Structure 1
Amino acid sequence: MSNAATVTGQTPVDLDIELAAIRAVVDTIAHAQADELAEDFVAVFREDAIWTTGHGKRLYGRPAIAEFTAQVLPGATTHGTATYEVEHVLFLRPDGAAVKIRQSYFTLDGELSGQGTPMYVMTKEAGTWVLTANQNTPVVTD
């Protein structure tokens, strides 16, 4: 993941530490997706998180996210992989951030097959950044 994300808003006192922590959450998502680790994926969500899938399914709370993820994540890498890059971070306040992701999908042969532009609204809870309100959005080229 690139470290060249743009940053705006009410930046925290130690910007580098907070950006590294946010990137670590995104890295966890990428790792969990690539290795089809549903529990690791779900662990980065706040208990009462909102998640809207790329197909518009609305999920409320970690149990619903876990149930959905357990159904769709196994086998998800059969046809390819995805990368996740933090593109922009807007600090809404020092412990809350809107994080835009550049998501790229690749075939097993390494060819770009699609893109996404998820939005993660993250909050810092008990010293840890978590996904709080999130939308996974595919990029449509036509």
Structure 2
Amino acid sequence: MPEEFVGLFRADAIWTTGHGKHLAGRDEISSFTHQVPTGAMKDSTTTYEVVDELFIRPDVAAVKAHAQYWTSEGEPIGNAATPLYVRAEEDGRWRLIACQNTEVLAQ
């Protein structure tokens, strides 16, 4: 599964994780992703809702989403997140090129 996730990124992509870790390039993103404990979310799920999408050009878009982690019983885990993804179409496939996953702190 990590390979499928990493395959979504362009080779030179940048990503700031929900905990503020800056990752540069698919290799670094892959290394980080493979460090996540196997099964860390086996008893939970995440939902994503696209809030807005702005096409900068026909082949480049910024996507704002709302994300929430849930237990298998349907209870929210932690705070929601509001990720921003910049994606570009290359060779007929959309790839992530810049991502910022920001946790929403309780008010």
Q: Percent sequence identity over matched residues?
A: 53
Runs of 4+ in 1 over 4 A off after TM superposition: none
How many residue pairs get aligned? The number is: 106
Amino acid at match of 1:125: E
Runs (5+) with no aligned partner, structure 1: 1-36
TM-score (norm 2): 0.91
2:24 is the counterpart of 1:54: no
Q: Which is strand-richer, 1 or 2?
A: 2
> What is the RMSD computed on CA atoms of the aligned residues?
1.3
Match of 1:45 in 2: 9
Match of 1:23 in 2: none
Return the match for 1:71 from 35, 42, 47. 35
Q: By how many angstroms is 1:80 displaced?
A: 2.1
TM-score (norm 1): 0.70
Q: Distance in 2 between matches of 1:96 and 1:125?
A: 9
Structure-2 change in CA distance of 1:38 and 1:91 (3 Å): same
2:101 is the counterpart of 1:126: no
Runs (5+) with no aligned partner, structure 2: none
Q: By how many angstroms is 1:75 displaced?
A: 2.5
Q: Which is helix-richer, 1 or 2?
A: 1
